[in-house]
Amino acid sequence: MNLPAYYPNSAKINAQNHLEIGDYDLTELTERFGSPLYVLDEKTIRDIAREYKQSLDEFYPNNLPIFASKALALKAVFSILQQEGFGLDVVSAGELFTAESINFPADKIYLHGNNKSIDELERAINYSGTKIIIDNFNDIKLLGELNKPVDCLLRLTPGVECHTHEYIKTGHLDSKFGFDLEHLIEAIEQIKKTPNINLIGLHAHIGSQIFEVNPYEDVARILLENYVKLGEKYNLKFNELNVGGGIGITYTSADDPPSIRQVMQILSNKVKSLINEFKLEPPKLIVEPGRSIVGRAGVTVYEVGSSKTVPKGRHYISVNGGMADNPRPITYQAKYSACVANKAAEQNSQVYTIAGRYCESGDILIKDIELPANIQPKDLIVLFGTGAYNYSMSSNYNRVPRPAMILVQNGEAEIILQRENLEDLIKHDVLPSRLAN
Ligand code: LLP
């Protein structure tokens, strides 16, 4: 049976009509590790990472794909991607510390952020080799105060529009990120007065969950035009060109993203033709995908509890997780697909709304989805495409412990994130002695 494009690569339906991922039956996995459960398919991550790396190697050999760790910042994920030849984009001391804790090679780490603290900048400089993406004038000032040599890229706001949700669009001019083209000269002049900053390249990121290819070509042109203009005028030796991340994934059958190979090919060809046009030494081409690496590798398994049918209306089924483990539906009206893990081969014949367990009416994971009829308590609902920006944006809303995450592959299952317990929830609470009983 051909499974839809939003399933992880190793997904199968077994003889018991159960969904398996990584050759592990999800009903057995939740018996062993409980639910809700984040499940991550190692094969999908490696397949996709290789698609990036191999297509870049084929079309533009001087390349470095780096994982935007904000999508899923976990040691095991960093380690898999290191093995696949990736670098890392980090945006906080926490993400950097996670990388440091597994000795991730510093010369493949890039620190981003529109409001980096001096401590974060210092930490990056001390993890020697880490590069910094200068986003604003304050970065330049703080780096000057630190006065230690550091390689940096400059982030531009290219003014490229793309079709995605307003909150996850970053490359348009009215954005909190990066220098608009009017302020570039001033930025470079300040950098020139800050001798410890070694400016080695330019960066731009246009947004996330993008299905079009043209914006990447536009961004390459804008970056390289400025590369030439600024490089000549200020005698700068640029050798890195970072075009950001953002390639979209399939969440539902309505989504039809281009293949990664296709985007890498078109982007590489554009960069090569611009290099010829401008007679440049080929820079290192950096791409920084997050969602497209881990999104489809992850699923979340929930258990069904209560249900209700409103008069002449919807069938609600409530699951034991929701907006705290997956804030994307309530934040971005994000759409997801689902199946019932223990009835994976049954015909879909009834429309349900899958409600979360959190005390908010808006905590609906999926509105109106067809699933097999007669869903019962303890059935297992699987949401697909939850690998990116689910755990990394999760919370303890309603003081509910966060789920565990299990890495599966070839019938093996390993915990890569422990399930939180009730003690974890109160471990930072402090009761002033005058209030203690
Ligand atoms: N580079 C930069 C500078 C970024 O800001 C981002 C994402 C990426 C790379 C990776 O983009 P990706 O390949 O993952 O699309 N929380 C939102 C997405 C926010 C994206 C933020 N920046 C969501 O859940 O849809």
Asked if residue 245 and residue 204 are part of one domain, the reply reads: yes
- Check whether 28 has a pLDDT greater than 60: yes
Ligand 1 pocket test target in 48, 64, 69, 70 with most atoms within 8 Å of CB? 70
**Which domain-ending residue is among 290, 309, 336?**
290
pLDDT at res. 27: 98
As a whole number of angstroms, the distance between CA 177 and CA 168 comes to: 12
Could you tell me the pTM of the whole model? 0.97
pLDDT at res. 170: 61
Give me ligand 1 centre to Cα 292, in Å: 10
Q: How far is CA 275 from CA 159, 168, 225, 228, 271, in A?
A: 21, 30, 10, 10, 6
Q: Active site includes 359?
A: yes
Give the CATH number of the domain where residue 369 resides: 2.40.37.10
Give me ligand 1 centre to Cα 373, in Å: 37
Residue 221 lies in a domain: yes
pLDDT at res. 312: 83
Asked if residue 222 and residue 102 are part of one domain, the reply reads: yes
- Check whether 173 has a pLDDT greater than 90: no
Q: What is the DSSP letter of 296?
A: T
Give me ligand 1 centre to Cα 85, in Å: 20
Which of residues 173 and 312 earns the better pLDDT score?
312
- Ligand 1-lining residues (CB < 6 angstroms): 68, 70-71, 89, 112, 168, 170, 205, 208-209, 244-246, 288-292, 328, 332, 389, 393
Asked if residue 265 and residue 410 are part of one domain, the reply reads: no
Atom of ligand 1 nearest to the CA of 170: 5
Confidence of residue 161 (pLDDT cuts 50, 70, 90): low
Asked if residue 310 and residue 217 are part of one domain, the reply reads: no
Asked if residue 397 and residue 327 are part of one domain, the reply reads: yes
> What's the mean pLDDT in 368-397?
98
Query: For the chain, how many structural domains are there in total?
Result: 2
pLDDT at res. 160: 77
- Check whether 174 has a pLDDT greater than 90: no
Taking only the tens place, the pLDDT of each residue in 209-219 is: 999 999 999 99
pLDDT at res. 162: 62
> What's the mean pLDDT in 335-364?
97
Residue 437 lies in a domain: no
**Which domain-ending residue is among 260, 290, 320?**
290
Give me ligand 1 centre to Cα 244, in Å: 9
Which of residues 158 and 79 earns the better pLDDT score?
79
Q: Whose CA is nearest to atom 3 of ligand 1?
A: 205
Confidence of residue 172 (pLDDT cuts 50, 70, 90): low
Give the CATH number of the domain where residue 233 resides: 3.20.20.10
Asked if residue 84 and residue 221 are part of one domain, the reply reads: yes
Give me ligand 1 centre to Cα 344, in Å: 32
Residue 98 lies in a domain: yes
Asked if residue 316 and residue 269 are part of one domain, the reply reads: no
Asked if residue 70 and residue 187 are part of one domain, the reply reads: yes
Confidence of residue 334 (pLDDT cuts 50, 70, 90): very high
**Which domain-ending residue is among 225, 260, 290?**
290
Q: What is the DSSP letter of 423?
A: H
Ligand 1 pocket test target in 67, 111, 179, 208 with most atoms within 8 Å of CB? 208
**Cβ atoms of residues 155 and 134 within 8 Å:** yes
Asked if residue 192 and residue 88 are part of one domain, the reply reads: yes
**Strands 37-41 and 24-25: what pairing?**
unpaired
Taking only the tens place, the pLDDT of each residue in 204-249 is: 999 999 999 999 999 999 999 999 999 899 999 899 999 999 999 9
Asked if residue 172 and residue 256 are part of one domain, the reply reads: yes
pLDDT at res. 166: 53
Residue range(s) defining the domain that contains residue 416: 12-34+297-426
Asked if residue 129 and residue 274 are part of one domain, the reply reads: yes
Residue 377 lies in a domain: yes
Asked if residue 362 and residue 277 are part of one domain, the reply reads: no
Residue 433 lies in a domain: no
> What's the mean pLDDT in 251-262?
97
